[in-house]
Structure formats: structure tokens, C-alpha cells
């Protein structure tokens, strides 16, 4: 027979005191569902290149890599996220390096990537593989690979850094170490990962490649852009227009288990249909101009700008200009997919 709960308020209070003292919680003593939900704190927002660039340049007056800071960055801080990351899962920063400067060698448990924005002459060396980065190139630094950067050109360079550090920090698995030397020894061949995976659809079948799972680190702008233009000749998507994902050519999977990167083109006159996903995203406008309506609010963007889309925010892109708009984006789709939580709806 069911027992009736007929005790007095005083008796309940005394009981709950004992529950707390025993290190327990009685969620039924509060109104609301037993499993508390959480509304996203991530806000739709735009960061303007016109504001970012001069502030990044001025940051050189205050800090230099190797002298008081390891890397000269400004992070895109989402106003809704207490940890000052770009979404709850993605941390995006812009990094500035003057001619002759180096960012010393280190490794860390977050996965990281960079997408070159401005300037010639920068390199990243990843586990001894020196990658010479041109604007529009994507270079990966998967955990826990050793990496250092430098600018060997004669103009400042700026790139986009993307990290899954908010997730790694949440999992209490965030570690980082400086390498004893500022720079690593470089392998005999510059761009070894690119040479190993020279052509789409072909992967090295040698025993050495199997033994050394050297993955593709450097994705060239020229190849990505050409692929985008060719894809536009055959197909487009109603929600994203012409879109490609950067993948690991050896497996066909997203570049990281936590983060995926995309390059997409919104062609002139295109207005995409609205959709929403359980994932979040940070976009960078590589070229052109347009607008994105996020949860009913229209945000205009132009070359160099960044914008964030929170989980489950309805969004649609439009290009009313005469030139194509090209967007690079970083999204946490693979993480949600791995957990069985990825959903997409119109």
C-alpha cells in the first residue's frame, strides 16, 4: 500500500537538513522537472573587422610573443558566455605576428586550427612539418602535436585560431606544455603532410604511411576555392547554398572529433531557407558581403567580419551583392553527432 505523505512543514525542513548534511540532494523538494534543462547563454553576435584590425595592431604596443605572453591574440568573446569564449564549445581568436617574430613551440590537449587571414610569410611547424601559410589556408594542430609559429615575411600576419578548449576544459582535461626550445627541428621536407596527401581521392598506401599515421595538416586556399567553384556548377543546398566540409582524406571524417570546418559560397541573389541545428558555429567572412537573419534579427556582415550562431537559433543567409560571398566556419557538429545529439530542422 502506498504511504501518504502527510508530514508537517517543520518535519520536512528537518528532514531536508539531514539530507543536505548527508551530502544528498532531494530534487523533488523544489518545483520543476527532476532533470533541469538549461537555456543557451550563447548570443548571436557579430565582431567587426573594422574594429578588430586596429585593436590587434595596437596590441603590439603592449605585448610580444616570448616576452610576457606566448601568443598575441584577441579572443572573440561572446557576451553571453561567462568564460569569454566565442560559443559555449568553440574558442576563436585572431592572432597577430610581426615580421621576425616567433610564437614558441608548445603542445596542448585542445585541438586547434588556424585559417590564414592577412599577410604573407607566416609558417606553422607541426611535429616537425613546416607549413608555409598563405591567406585562406587552413592548418591543423591536432592534440597533442607540437607546434610553433613564425613570421618570416616583411609584413604583419593575422590568422584565425579555432580551439575546442571550452569542451576540454569542461571535461577537466586541459593541459599545455612549453617545449624546451622555442623552435622545433624541421624535417628534411617542407610541407610533408601535403605531399603525402597530394590529391583528393588518393591516399598513401605504403607501409610507412600506415605505421606513421601522419595526417593532412595543411589545406590550401587555392584547392578549397577551386573545389567550391566547381561544386557550384553541379549542386547547391537550400540552407547553405554551395558548401564543402574540410575532412581528413585518410578517413573521410571531420577534421576533429569535436569540431568541423566548412567553406561555403553564397552566390549573388541567393537567399537561403531558414534552419536550425543543435550545434553552434562561428563564421568568418572571407570575401564579399551579405546578411544573416538569426532568430528574427538581421545581422549584416562584410569581408573580415565574424559572427556566432547559438545552438537551435534559426538562421538564413542572403547575398544581395553582385559578387559571391565566401564564408569559412567552425562548428561543433561532430561532437553533437558523436553523442547522438545532432538534430537539424527547418
Residue nearest to ligand GTQ (CB): 161
Q: Tell me if 161 contacts ligand GTQ by CB under 6 A.
A: yes
- Residue number, 218 or 317, with CB nearest to ligand GTQ: 218
Q: Are 103 and 125 in contact (CB under 8 A)?
A: no
119 versus 290: smaller Cβ distance to ligand GTQ? 119
x-or-dash string of contact with ligand GTQ, 119-158, rule CB under 6 A: ----------------------------x-x---------
93 binds ligand GTQ (CB under 6 A): yes
Smallest separation, CB 142 to ligand GTQ (Å): 12
In whole angstroms, the minimum distance from the beta carbon of 196 to ligand GTQ comes to 22
In the complex with ligand GTQ, the residue whose CB is nearer, 163 or 281, is 163
Is 266 among the residues that bind ligand GTQ (CB under 6 A)? no
Q: Closest separation between CB of residue 149 and ligand GTQ, Å?
A: 6
Q: Is there binding between residue 105 and ligand GTQ (CB under 6 A)?
A: no
112 is a site residue for ligand GTQ (CB under 6 A): yes
Supply the minimum distance, in Å, between the C-beta of residue 276 and ligand GTQ.
28
Q: Which of residues 58-77 bind ligand GTQ (CB under 6 A)?
A: 71, 73
Count residues contacting ligand GTQ (CB under 6 A)?
11
The interface with ligand GTQ within residues 198-227 (CB under 6 A) comprises none
Query: Could you tell me the smallest distance in angstroms from the CB atom of residue 190 to ligand GTQ?
Result: 19
- Summarize as ranges the residues that interact with ligand GTQ (CB under 6 A): 71, 73, 93, 95, 103, 108, 112, 147, 149, 161, 163
Amino acid at each position: 500500500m502506498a504511504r501518504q505523505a502527510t508530514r508537517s512543514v517543520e518535519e520536512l525542513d528537518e528532514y531536508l537538513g539531514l539530507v543536505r548534511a548527508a551530502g544528498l540532494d532531494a530534487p523533488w523538494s523544489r518545483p520543476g522537472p527532476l532533470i533541469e534543462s538549461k537555456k543557451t547563454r550563447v548570443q548571436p553576435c557579430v565582431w567587426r573587422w573594422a574594429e578588430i584590425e586596429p585593436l590587434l595592431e595596437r596590441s603590439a604596443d603592449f605585448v610580444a610573443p616570448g616576452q610576457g605572453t606566448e601568443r598575441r591574440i584577441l579572443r572573440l568573446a561572446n557576451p553571453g558566455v561567462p568564460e569569454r569564449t566565442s560559443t559555449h564549445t568553440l574558442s576563436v581568436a585572431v592572432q597577430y605576428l610581426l615580421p621576425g617574430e616567433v610564437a614558441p613551440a608548445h603542445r596542448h590537449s585542445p585541438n586547434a586550427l588556424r585559417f590564414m587571414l592577412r599577410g604573407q610569410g607566416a609558417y606553422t611547424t607541426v611535429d616537425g612539418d613546416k607549413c608555409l601559410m598563405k591567406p585562406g589556408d587552413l592548418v591543423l594542430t591536432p592534440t597533442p602535436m607540437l607546434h610553433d609559429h613564425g613570421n618570416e615575411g616583411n609584413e604583419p600576419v593575422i590568422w584565425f585560431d579555432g580551439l575546442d578548449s571550452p569542451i576540454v576544459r569542461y571535461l577537466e582535461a586541459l593541459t599545455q606544455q612549453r617545449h624546451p626550445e622555442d623552435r622545433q627541428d624541421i624535417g628534411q621536407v617542407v610541407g610533408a603532410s601535403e605531399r603525402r596527401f597530394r590529391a583528393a581521392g588518393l591516399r598513401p598506401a605504403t607501409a610507412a604511411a600506415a605505421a606513421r599515421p601522419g595526417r593532412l595538416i595543411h589545406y590550401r586556399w587555392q584547392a578549397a576555392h577551386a573545389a567550391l567553384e566547381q561544386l557550384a556548377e553541379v549542386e547547391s543546398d537550400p540552407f547553405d547554398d554551395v558548401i564543402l566540409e574540410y575532412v581528413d582524406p585518410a578517413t573521410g571524417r571531420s577534421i576533429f572529433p569535436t569540431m568541423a570546418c566548412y567553406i561555403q559560397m553564397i552566390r549573388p541573389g541567393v537567399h537561403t531557407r531558414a534552419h536550425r541545428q543543435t550545434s553552434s558555429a562561428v563564421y568568418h567572412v572571407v570575401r564579399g558581403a551579405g546578411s544573416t537573419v538569426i532568430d528574427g534579427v538581421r545581422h549584416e556582415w562584410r569581408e573580415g567580419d565574424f559572427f556566432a550562431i547559438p545552438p537551435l537559433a534559426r538562421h538564413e543567409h542572403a547575398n544581395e551583392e553582385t559578387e559571391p560571398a565566401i564564408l569559412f566556419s567552425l562548428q561543433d557538429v561532430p561532437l553533437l553527432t558523436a553523442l547522438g545529439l545532432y538534430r537539424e530542422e527547418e
